[in-house]
Chains A and B, each alone.
Chain A
Amino acid sequence: MEQFDEKYFFELYNTHAEKAFKFLIKSFQERLYYHIRKIVLTHENADDVLQNTFVKIWYGLPNFNKQSSLYTWVYRIATNEALSYLRKHKKHFSNNIENGEQNDVVNTLRSDDFFEGNEIELKLQEALSLLPEKQKLVFNMKYFEHMKYDEISEILGTSIGALKASYHIAVKKIKEFLKNN
């Protein structure tokens, strides 16, 4: 992962706030986009959430107390924004698999112009949709985004021990799902 120069950012922010903010967007937009997209699934939703995330970052920057790194702070905002978006639109994302109907996630992704996943990628999304929120987040952050446990712990506010347990359970469930389907 490309290193973000926090010191340079804050020096620039103190003199040219807008220029510094543009630099921050360019540095984080792609990583945050895919992080959000894995939570909200469609491009339209991810775009909405990502824009709101950066608006919040802009208004939050003057009060940023530097107790955590900027990197974990922006990830925390993005994660919270995506999760609250999901909660607001809960009905749309509800999973009907319990009623024996086809998984909504698969239908949603098949109708999304910006999803070009193969069958195995669709299966993975189906498996992920059956996981509890935190297990799904931890699995994606650890397995696909290659984050360290201490970073995930700071972003999600969960102990490292609990994260390891969540990841272990998530991997087991996904393996089982892929094996049986």
Chain B
Amino acid sequence: MRELDKISENQGFKVPDNYFDNFPDNVLNKIKESSDNKKDRFRINPVFMAAASFVATLIIVFVLYKYNSDTELTYSDKIAYLECTIDYSDEDILIEEIASNDYVNADNYDENTYLQEELSEDDMIEFLSNQ
């Protein structure tokens, strides 16, 4: 390693005059520049912001309109929904649901009328013969 002993610690590498004197300020300037650039990246042109807000409002209105018109439930949808969601063991809830949705006017409900309307004569004969 005799040759290596002749080599200086910095291996012949030099720096420009006053390089290390100015270096800390150069770094701090670079940091300030980079943080300014970061801020600029998030600064939005007001005209662009107004246009974007207008477009966003239009999109929201369109989506709300579309959603409301498409999701209007038909009568059979409502029945299907009730069948799926209501626990039939709880009669009170069932009655409340039917009444609140106005499927049957609960105040005028007459069991005989319902039977008369719904059962045909054939149905009644079949029912009695099975007894």
Interface residues of A in 84-134 (CB under 8 A from B): 109, 114-118, 120-125
Report if A121-B14 is in contact (Cβ < 8 Å); known contacts: A25-B27, A29-B23. no
Residues of A within 8 A of B9 (CB): 34, 144-145
With both chains docked as a complex, state the minimum distance between the C-beta of A161 and any C-beta of chain B, in angstroms: 22
Report if A124-B23 is in contact (Cβ < 8 Å); known contacts: A18-B28, A34-B13, A144-B11. no
Residues of B within 8 A of A125 (CB): 11
Residues of A within 8 A of B12 (CB): 109, 115-118, 121-122
Looking at chain A's contact residues, is the secondary structure mostly helix, strand, loop, or mixed? helix
How many Å lie between the Cα of A145 and that of B28 in the bound state?
27
Q: Does A12 have its Cβ within 8 Å of any Cβ on chain B?
A: no
How many Å lie between the Cα of A164 and that of B128 in the bound state?
104
In chain A, what residue has the closest Cβ to B23? A29
Partner of B11, one of A25, A38, A114, A174: A38
Residues of A within 8 A of B31 (CB): 55, 58
How many Å lie between the Cα of A145 and that of B9 in the bound state?
7
Whether A117 lies near B30 (C-beta < 8 A) is no
Interface residues of B in 11-59 (CB under 8 A from A): 11-16, 19-20, 23-24, 26-28, 30-31, 34
Partner of B20, one of A18, A30, A37, A116: A30
With both chains docked as a complex, state the minimum distance between the C-beta of B42 and any C-beta of chain A, in angstroms: 17
Residues of A within 8 A of B3 (CB): 120, 123-124, 178
How many Å lie between the Cα of A56 and that of B19 in the bound state?
20
Q: Does A54 have its Cβ within 8 Å of any Cβ on chain B?
A: yes
In chain A, what residue has the closest Cβ to B32? A18
Whether B16 lies near A51 (C-beta < 8 A) is no
Q: Does B6 have its Cβ within 8 Å of any Cβ on chain A?
A: yes
In chain A, what residue has the closest Cβ to B1? A175
How many Å lie between the Cα of A55 and that of B3 in the bound state?
38
Q: Does A22 have its Cβ within 8 Å of any Cβ on chain B?
A: yes
How many Å lie between the Cα of A37 and that of B10 in the bound state?
9
Whether A114 lies near B7 (C-beta < 8 A) is no
Per-residue interface assignment for chain B, residues 54 to 84, with 1 indicating a CB less than 8 Å from any chain A CB and 0 otherwise: 0000000000000000000000000000000
Whether A55 lies near B13 (C-beta < 8 A) is no
How many Å lie between the Cα of A26 and that of B20 in the bound state?
8
Binding site for B on A (CB under 8 A): 18, 21-22, 25-26, 29-30, 33-34, 37-38, 43, 47, 50-51, 54-55, 58, 109, 114-118, 120-125, 143-145, 171, 174-175, 178
Nearest 6 interchain pairs by C-beta = A117-B12, A121-B12, A25-B24, A54-B27, A114-B14, A37-B13
Binding site for A on B (CB under 8 A): 1, 3-4, 6-16, 19-20, 23-24, 26-28, 30-31, 34
